[in-house]
Amino acid sequence: MSTGFEEVRLSLPHIELAAHLYGPEDGLPVLALHGWLDNAASFARLAPKLQGLRIVALDFAGHGHSDHRAAGAGYALWDYAFDVLQVAEQFGWQRFSILGHSMGAITAVLLAAAMPERIARLALIDGLVPYTGEAEQAPAKLGEALRARQALSDKRKPVYAEMARAVEARMKGVGAVSREAAELLAQRGLMPVPGGYTWRTDSRLTLPSPLRLSWAHAQAFVRALQCPVSLVLAEQGMMGAQPAVRALLQDLPFEVHRLPGGHHLHLDDETGAQLVADCFNPFLRSP
């Protein structure tokens, strides 16, 4: 597996983020956004297979080697969207494409719908809309989130005596992954502590959302997209079982590819990564 990249740190006005750079400096600009609790290594198999692109694979705030947000701050999707804009500004990219997986794909959709003049193309992997919540559920959900936030200081991250145990835990986590994929994510996502290893991720990332977009909100963002969209759906992924999403896709001019594999099909093995690359190479390089 060819994973040649340059490690960089990006000093934004409000936070410092880490990233991997792939491809030639004069390649077409692409920001790669990973999923929840993952990191830039999510694109270690896929990015080298994408040709003619300058890919900036971010560690989102609170993930990987990026800084955690300040005390009292949160991790809303629109905060990630602002981070993405600030990264593009740092590279001098007025218009760029986004390669997004899961939460990264959802963030990409929100940003592209809100600021269509900035986004050229969206290449999405098993992600489109966030988990939604309707108005009648909002008071209870906010109460749940506030209680969880108050209780967070009493919780401690798990410590694994050996890295292999952390890898096994990640294999069974949300969006189960292959052992090789878990190893790649763990190599970047773990840090040594007394007694072994623990995850670098900010504990606040596990808190429930205080407020969710309604289904009407989610649809509005998707329908507002003006740029070309290519969406890869994993046959054993997390989107295929959502009837509302399937119905929405039937009414949209998206390029949709249904590929074998799980939610992390682009990272689980070389075959899956190549299948995804075969979909996105012609798409991302189109004029």
Place of tokens 């682009």: 266
How far apart, in Å, do the first and last CA atoms of the chain sit? 29
Helix axis angle, 163-171 relative to 179-189, nearest 10°?
Answer: 120
CA 258 – CA 277 distance, rounded (Å) = 13
| 223, 116 Cβ separation under 8 angstroms | no
Pairing of strands 28-33, 96-101: parallel
- Residues 47/55, Cβ–Cβ less than 8 Å: yes
Q: For residue 266, which phi and psi values (nearest 5 degrees)?
A: -75, -10
Do β-strands 28-33 and 196-199 pair in parallel, antiparallel, or remain unpaired? unpaired
Domains and CATH numbers, the chain: 6-132+214-284 (3.40.50.1820)
CA distances from 31 to 34, 53, 65, 285 (A): 10, 10, 17, 14
Q: In what order do the strands lie in the sheet with 96-101?
A: 6-11, 16-22, 53-58, 28-33, 96-101, 119-125, 229-236, 255-262
pLDDT string in tens for the chain (287-residue length): 445 899 999 999 999 999 999 999 999 999 999 999 999 999 999 999 999 999 999 999 999 999 999 999 989 999 999 999 999 999 999 999 999 999 999 999 999 999 999 999 999 999 999 999 999 999 999 999 999 999 998 889 999 999 999 999 999 887 789 999 999 999 999 999 999 999 999 999 999 999 999 999 999 999 999 999 999 999 999 886 678 898 999 989 999 999 999 999 999 999 999 999 999 999 999 87
Q: What are phi and psi of 94, to 5 degrees?
A: -80, -25
Shortest CA distance to 144 belongs to which of 210, 204, 191, 62? 210
Catalytic-role residue among 42, 66, 97, 102: 102
**Catalytic residue status for 102:** yes
The pLDDT score that the predictor gives to residue 175 is 78
3-state helix, strand, coil in the chain (%, to 5): 40, 20, 40
Cβ–Cβ < 8 Å for 280, 272: no
**Gap between the Cα atoms of 251 and 268, Å rounded:** 31
Q: Which two tokens stand for residue 126?
A: 């098993």
pTM over 0.85: yes
